[in-house]
Structure 1
Amino acid sequence: MASAAPPPVKRYRRESKESAESDAEDDDKYVPYVPVKERKKQQLLKMGRIVQLTAEASNVGKSSSENEHDEENAEEAWGRKFNISLLDQHTELKKIAEAKKISAVEKQLKEEEKILESVAEKKALMGVAELAKGIQYEDPIKTSWKPPRYILARADVSHEKVRERMRILVD
């Protein structure tokens, strides 16, 4: 007689407490997917609101009767825009944005960006350790290298011409 082996024991997997906690964290971080069409609508609405805010800022000096007239025109324009395609609305908003003068805040932001770019360009030539320690080199590195004799034999005028052509600044 053949000996009958006992049936294999089924073992159930137990979820650890850590995985349950991580699932809860994942649920907190979940951001629902928004279709491209909806995102574009939101962007257009946001752009429209920005244009409205700039228009309201320009209306500050007007009398109340002028403001009422402007508000009626704005309501008519917004009522019309619901019937216009998004592309047409987009082109209109672009034209309006180009027509408006850049506000002082936007000018300041652009200046700050330019300053940050120039600082980044200067720091790009330095190593991380040098930046961290605040090391700045004032004197050039002394080496034994010398230019070839044919270059040394040239006149100073030819050196100046090369510097002008290559746009090399000598301080």
Structure 2
Amino acid sequence: MSVKSMEEEDNYVQYVPVVKRRALAAQMILQRTGDSSALEDELEKSKLAEAKPSLLVKASQLKRDQPEISQTEQIVQQEKEMIEHLSDKKTLMSVRELAKGIT
């Protein structure tokens, strides 16, 4: 190895992404000003953002937690809803009378 390559190795600085450099700079500024509570708040917010489950995970959990409804219970429930939505007036009239608006 030559002397020049050894000097280059000694002066090598590892690349740090811009996001990390900015975070470190903000951390150093906050430490200098003595506002460590703001720094702790930032760290807590970042941890909470990482810990939050996605909506897809929440939806799948809700589906698993729902009580199972049997087929007959589902049919009975649908029939109850249909009966509630029907009005007696329309069921007693023929389609022809409803179409012409006869009362």
TM-score band (shorter)?
0.3 to 0.5
Query: Which has the larger helix fraction?
Result: 2
> Under a length normalisation based on structure 1, what TM-score does the superposition of the two structures give?
0.23
Q: With a CA cutoff of 8 Å and minimum separation of 6, indicate the structure with the bigger relative contact order.
A: 1
> Under a length normalisation based on structure 2, what TM-score does the superposition of the two structures give?
0.37
